[in-house]
Amino acid sequence: MNPMTSYFTLSNGVNIPMVGLGTWQIPNDQVFDVVMNAFEVGYTHIDSAQGYQNEEGVGRAIKASSLPRESIFVTTKLPSHIKGYQETLDSFEQSMKDLQLEVLDLYLIHAPWPWSNIGQDCTQGNIESFKAMIDLYKQGRIRSIGVSNFSVKDLKAIMDATGFAPHVNQIRFYVGDTQDEIVSFCQANNILVEAYSPLATGRILNHPELLQMAEQKGVTIAQLCIKYCLQKNTLPLPKTTKKERMIENASLDFTLSEEEMKKLDRIK
């Protein structure tokens, strides 16, 4: 299985490549080269956000690429502090202008609360923002819509208010931090879980137990962790600026046994 030419299918029938390139913390002046390298290696799924301040560089790379637009899957996100119907429409138009796109593949509410005030109750604002996204989706401006960092409570609030289940919930997910309650709810409601920070922002790469298992299998810890996400039916978004790491992160032609998965599940 080549994860870059294999897909998850969202609840609305849209195909999304099984591994994406995360671009968090890649500055706008570097992201063009990073995305061009990713395309060269075989990635077609790029995850950005207005909050990353690199949409313009991502857009230039898509424009400069020889790949047909329909073969590239582009995600961006509504900034966490922007809540409300019209505010969402305005922010979306800015993102589309910066990305130089006519149609977006996936649009997410970046968080249920502003990053500057984690935990703040923004339920009504999230509902209004999601209503705007549903309208953009129905107009054909976006192929799929979703959320990020949403708890079960946050998900239920927008689903109950709109009667529409997000196609995606992008959450922190890696070996040792699997947010089981959220994942169970999402999978029961046909919401694809995207795993950001599948390598725990690098913190996991020296874990002795993971090192031992990786050596036994003849793979790297990064490959082990990304494969774990896939076998949990989540979509990993490893972030790297290095071409050789991009190749490594997508070379996943091995399987973790049930026993190995259980062992990884026990790591905390």
Q: Are 38 and 64 in contact (CB under 8 A)?
A: no
Q: Whole-angstrom Cα distance, residue 2 to residue 5?
A: 6
* Three-state secondary structure of 68-124: CHHHCEEEEEECCCCCCHHHHHHHHHHHHHHHCCCCECEEEECCCCCHHHCCCCCHH
Residues in the chain: 268
State the catalytic residue, choosing from 52, 137, 196, 228: 52
**Catalytic residue check, 52:** yes
Structure token pair of residue 230: 């896939």
- Tell me the Ramachandran region of residue 22: left when phi exceeds 0, alpha when psi lies from -120 to 50, beta otherwise: beta
Q: HSE of 140 in the Cβ direction (CA atoms, 13 Å)?
A: 1
Return d(Cα 22, Cα 45) in angstroms, integer.
9
Containing 168, the helix (H) or strand (E) segment is strand 168-172
State the DSSP code for 177.
B
Distance CA 252, CA 240 (A): 16
Provide the token pair at 195.
């795993």
- Residues serving a catalytic function are 52
